[in-house]
Amino acid sequence: ATRPKQGAMIEAGIHAREWLAHSTILYIIDKLLATKTMLNYMDFYIIPCVNPDGYEYTHTSCRLWRKNLNHNNSKDVKKWGVDLNRNFPVAFGHEGSSR
């Protein structure tokens, strides 16, 4: 009997200002498709840009922005955004997480 393949999820671009992550994930995708060896053994689920609105904002308005552009019910851009990297269900609401 054939064993089911393992799966791997890869995400990039969670912080808008970290542009290298987007180039790196595209390089990884290219290598996976070019060699295909790993595709015989694993299924890959790839999210190349977790934070597209923040990424675009770093190209048009604020280079060092890292969060998404959730308006948080505020007209003040300084209060916008959620740091997506701090919103996984581990120690949510504790030190280091967004509230």
Q: In this predicted model, what pLDDT tens digit does every residue of 72-98 receive, in sequence order?
A: 899 998 889 999 988 777 766 666 655
67 is a domain residue: yes
- DSSP string for 22-77: HHHHHHHHHHHHHH-TGGGTEEEEEES-S-HHHHHHHHHT-TT--S----TT-S-G
User: What percentage of the chain exceeds 70 in pLDDT?
Assistant: 89
What domain range includes position 72? Answer: 7-86
Q: Which two tokens stand for residue 90?
A: 């581990």
Is the pTM for the entire model greater than 0.75?
yes
Domain count, the chain: 1
Q: Which two tokens stand for residue 73?
A: 């019910």
34 is a domain residue: yes
92 is a domain residue: no
99 is a domain residue: no
51 is a domain residue: yes
